A and B are shown apart, each in its own frame.
Chain A
Amino acid sequence: AQKVTQAQTEISVVEKEDVTLDCVYETRDTTYYLFWYKQPPSGELVFLIRRNSFDEQNEISGRYSWNFQKSTSSFNFTITASQVVDSAVYFCALSEARGGSQGNLIFGKGTKLSVKP
C-alpha cells in the first residue's frame, strides 16, 4: 500500500532561519511521482514540485530545494532564509504511474510551518 508520512506536525522558526520539512513515503511501484504542495491560510493548494522516481537529482528553485533519496524513501524540502510569507501548511504527496500517466495523489498529513518576524 502507498503511504506518505510527514512526521513533523508543526514547525516554528524565526525569519531568515533555514528549515527542512521531512517526507518519507512507501510504495511497491517502481515508477511513481512525488510532489510538494503549499497551502497558505487562503486555503488553495499551490503546486511546488513534481519528481518522478527515476530522477534523483536534487532540485533548487530560489530559496526552495528538494532532496530526493530513494535509498531512504525520502523527499525532503528545505526553505533557505525563511520569510513570513512562507508560513503555510506544506503537503508531501505520492502518486503511482498508470499507463504512463499519474494516478490519484496520496497525501501526507501536512506540516504547518510558522515563520515569525
Chain B
Amino acid sequence: GAGVSQSPSNKVTEKGKDVELRCDPISGHTALYWYRQSLGQGLEFLIYFQGNSAPDKSGLPSDRFSAERTGGSVSTLTIQRTQQEDSAVYLCASSFYGTGYGYTFGSGTRLTVV
C-alpha cells in the first residue's frame, strides 16, 4: 500500500491477556519504529528496527513488551499480561535509510485494557 498500515485500529482487552499489534511499513522502507502515545504523556519511543541490525529496544517499558520484524517488513508488537497503564495509542512509523523525507506514521492502534 501507499502508507503505513496498522491493525487492528482498535483493541479492547481484559487485564492480564496478551495482545499483538501489527504494522505493515511502506514497501522498501528499511527502518521501522514503534511509539506509544498516552494521554498527558506525549509520544514515547518504544523500539526501532533498521535493516538487519539488532533492534534498539531501549524504549520498551518492561519485559512484558516485545517486538519482532519478519523478513525486514511486517512488524508485530506483543504486550503480555496487559495492565491498565498499557492503554494508549500505539503508533508505527517507517522511513528510508538516510533520506530526507522524514518518518511516515500509521494511524495507530488504540489499545484499551479493561
- CB within 8 Å of B: which residues of A? 35, 37, 42-45, 47, 49-50, 52, 91, 93, 98, 100-110
Contacts and interface: CB of A to CB of B under 8 A. Distances in A.
Contact of A104 (B33, B102, B108): B33
Contacts, number: 56
Given A101-B97, A109-B42, A44 B103 contact: no
B interface: dominant SS: strand
Contacts of B14: none
A44 B56 contact: no
Given A35-B102, A101-B98, A102-B95, A107 B42 contact: yes
Nearest to A107: B43
Contacts of A91: 42-43
Contacts of A104: 33, 45, 48, 56, 59
A107 B48 CA distance: 15
Contacts of B35: 105, 107
A interface: dominant SS: strand
List the 5 closest pairs (A to B, CB-CB), nearest first.
Answer: A45-B105, A107-B43, A47-B102, A101-B98, A109-B42
B45 A50 contact: no
Contacts of B33: 104-105
Interface residues of B, number: 25
Interface of B: 31, 33, 35, 42-43, 45, 48, 50, 56, 59, 89, 91, 93, 95, 97-98, 100-108
A36 to B, nearest CB: 10
Contact of B107 (A35, A43, A50, A106): A43
Contact of B103 (A43, A100, A105, A106): A105
B97 A50 contact: no
Contact of B50 (A35, A44, A101, A110): A101
